[in-house]
Structure 1
Amino acid sequence: MPIYGIAHLWAQGDPMTRFVAALLVAMSVVSWSVIVLKTVEFARLRRHAGSAQRRFRDACEPDEDVDALGRPGTPFFELASAGQHALAHHEASGARHRGRVDLSEWLLRSLRASVSDSSTRLQRGLGLLASIGSTAPFVGLLGTVWGIYHALLALGASGDASLEHVAGPVGEALIMTALGLCVAIPAVLGYHALARVSRDIVAQLNRFAYGVHAQLLTGSAPAPCATMKERV
């Protein structure tokens, strides 16, 4: 009597069965890779978000404002840099556009564009998780249906419809459905958890953008810097 299981399913399976099994394994590897990489990325950004606005306000010179926020490519660095570039551009072209382009609106547009770009980058990979979570059960179901189909054909050819010869192959075919669920459940849970963290980071970016907008628009030095200048 054969010992039914995953090893037997792979050894006795046809190319379709092996393709479905390999596809599920690949989907699982991809989903876990995305979950781990995005978790590390979001954890780093959340740690950075806590001190970004304080560092920006504590810097005494415009160049220090951006340099204090880390390396280029991080959302808070790009946001502050976009605000300073927008301010410099507006001041450089003020003679031509005075009265036609409001400085506050110009800064808001630039900061919103930076937040939108950062939000798009944060969402990368999450769509793949959602796709895997929604399609993996159906891929597993395809493997199950295919396995039951071939099991029933084999039973019809042998003419032996006893419980021993029916339960084993049919039960083994259900392994594919279980594999599909094992792939889908972590992908769905990971997607919702990461999407929630992504929304929190975007909200922090929006709050930071308002702070950058106020500081660049007023042009006043932060309180610590003003105090230092008064003492000098």
Structure 2
Amino acid sequence: MTNIFIYLSQFDPIILTIFLLLLAMSCLTWSRALHLCWSLLCIKRQQSYAKQLWHKQETMVAFRQAHVSPSPKLFKRFGLYYHIAKVGNLAKQQYLDAPSEQLSLSDFLASQLTLYSKRALPKHGLNLLATTAACAPFIGLLGTVWGIHLSLNVIGEQTTTTLTALAPAIAEALIITGVGIAVAIPAVLFYNFFAKQYEQLQTDLNYFAQQWHNYLLTGHSPAHLSGS
């Protein structure tokens, strides 16, 4: 470890700055990936509970009263799905208190539930992954160009240039190139994985919002309508 710090201390200041920037981007990428992974697991658990919701009358009643008497226990268990129900309940109450001449109750509920369900998932971490995946190789390339620039300076300053004189600048350029690629590859893989997972979750949230919309209008759950 000491040897690494000694080696880094010999880097050109600009190369070292680029290296530290890439290192920071890598740390942010992995920390954000872990955070997204934890969020994904929690939402998947909520999803499994939500699929059983329609078969439990007591829970259904609690969901119907979410806007009047919120339950921290149910919110912890059902999370986003419980909040979607709460948004739908509030929207229905708001419409009944002040009916709109332009929108029907069905349209008003649909607009409110759709708006919330699209914003519910914590997707902000995906932007960081996408930015890192797109920028890291070019930041590494900047270090490569600067390393080549240093090598050309060495050639220009010496009448007879040896490989030993050029080696440090070339090595720094190659290292920064590799670091840029090493930072970008995990970011790309993480982004593709989480984007796919969150797309599937978004579809499920939209479907649940539609089910709750129908339930608020008809009073019948999907389980009741299917005869189960």
TM-score (norm 2): 0.82
Partner of 1:175: 175
Aligned length: 215
Query: Could you report, residue by residue, the CA deviation over 1:57-76 in whole angstroms, capped at 9, with x for unpaired residues?
Result: 52447661144742499321
**Which position in structure 2 is the counterpart of 1:228?**
none
Shift in alpha-carbon separation, 1:172–1:13, aligned structure 2, 3 A: closer
Identity %: 32
CA contact 1:86–1:110 (8 Å) conserved in 2:
yes
Quote the RMSD (CA, aligned, Å). 2.7
Displacement of 1:151 in angstroms is 2.5
Q: Which runs of 5+ in 1 are unaligned?
A: 225-232
Aligned position for 2:75? 70
C-alpha distance in 2, partners of 1:60/1:193? Answer: 37
Q: Distance in 1 between matches of 2:85 and 2:213?
A: 9
If asked which structure has higher relative contact order (CA below 8 Å, sep 6+), I would say 1
Distance 1:168 1:114 in 2: 55
**Corresponding residue for 2:84?**
79
SS at match of 2:207: helix
For residues 11 and 187 of structure 1, the distance between their equivalents in structure 2, rounded to whole angstroms, comes to 27
* C-alpha contact 2:49 2:78 (8 A) present in aligned 1: no
Query: Is 2:147–2:173's contact at 8 Å kept on the other side of the alignment?
Result: yes
Question: 1:93 aligned to 2:98?
Answer: yes
Cα 1:109–1:57 change in 2 (3 A) is: farther
* SS of structure 1 residue aligned to 2:124: coil
Residue 115 in structure 1 maps to residue 117 in structure 2: yes
Q: Kindly tell me: are residues 13 and 28 of structure 1, through their superposed partners in 2, closer, same or farther at Cα, counting changes over 3 Å? A: same
* Unaligned segments of structure 2, at least 5 residues: none
Preserved contact between residue 133 and residue 185 of structure 1 (Cα < 8 Å): yes
| Structure 2 residue aligned with 1:156 | 156
For 1:90 and 1:53, the matched residues in 2 are separated by 28
Q: Which has the larger radius of gyration?
A: 1
Residue 145 of structure 1 and its aligned partner are, at CA, apart by: 1.6
Mapped partners of 1:61, 1:43: distance in 2: 22
Structure 1, residues 133-154: CA drift from partner, whole Å, max 9, x if none?
1111111111122122213322
Match of 2:25 in 1: 27
Amino acid corresponding to residue 185 of structure 1 in structure 2: I
- Aligned-pair CA distance for 1:158: 3.4
Give the corresponding residue for 2:106: 104
SS at match of 2:75: coil
Contact 2:54 2:223 in 1 (8 A): no
- TM-score, length-normalised on structure 1? 0.81
